[in-house]
Amino acid sequence: MTLAALKQAVLEANLATVRHGLVKATFGNASGIDRVSERIAIKPSGVPYEEMTADHMVITDLAGTTFDNRFRPSSDLDTHLVLYRAFPTIGAIIHTHSTYATIMAQARRPIPPLGTTHADYFHGTIPVTRDLTAEEITERYVEATGEVIAETVGSGDPLAIPAVLVAGHGPFVWGRDPEQAVLNAMILEEVAKMAWHGAALDAAPPPISQTLLDRHYLRKHGANATYGQ
């Protein structure tokens, strides 16, 4: 992939998060990686979305070295770097403060698979991280955020459940590429909204069975997927 194509895809992912109502003000950031050249493109810090162009996207390597000094990268860059190093199969990351996913992150409530909307995109419960320690926050906050996400995913397949809610903060979502990450961020917000409404009626709403979860997830993902043209 050319750097120009990567920057354009990352720009579009950033703009899509605003268009879909997932991001207000300058909250949120999207990045993408070309795994061949190991180059990352990420949103610049504090540039208003309405002025943002592909050229604003900041290019770094996996260690966070930037390749020109025109724009400073998102203040969450180090979280993205930790995740790209920890999860070699992912190609894009999106961070938002989307309303219902953030409500669940603030309430420290994981999102169980309550229906097939969830099962079509997330192959199990979307987890919440533990709280960061005072030392982690003070000494190395942004990296520690990435580390606690990686710790929460553990030995699981990051593409099978491509999101984690950071306690007291909000969601980080990823995918094979920027377009898929946007879709996952959108569906996460929808399933979080549904889960909140279920929890408000009923303290422990029933998750769907593993059989139904598999049926829906595997229809759209993996070697035996049958969905689409």
Cα separation, 117 vs 28, in Å, equals 24
DSSP-derived 3-state class of residue 175: strand
Selected binder of a second copy within 44, 64, 110, 127 (CB under 8 A)? 44
Catalytic residue among 120, 131, 141, 177: 120
Q: Are 209 and 215 in contact (CB under 8 A)?
A: no
Q: Which is nearer to a second copy, 68 or 202 (CB)?
A: 202
| Residue 228 engages a second copy in binding (rule: CB under 8 A) | yes
Selected binder of a second copy within 3, 12, 54, 116 (CB under 8 A)? 116
Cα separation, 206 vs 135, in Å, equals 38
Least distance between a second copy and beta carbon 159 (Å): 17
Burial class (CB in 10 A: 0-12, 13-18, 19+), 93: buried
Chain residues that interact with a second copy, rule: CB under 8 A? 24-25, 27, 44-47, 71-72, 75, 97, 99-100, 102-103, 105-109, 114-117, 120, 131-132, 134, 137-138, 141, 168-170, 183, 186-187, 190, 193-194, 196-202, 205-206, 208-209, 211-212, 215, 219, 226-229
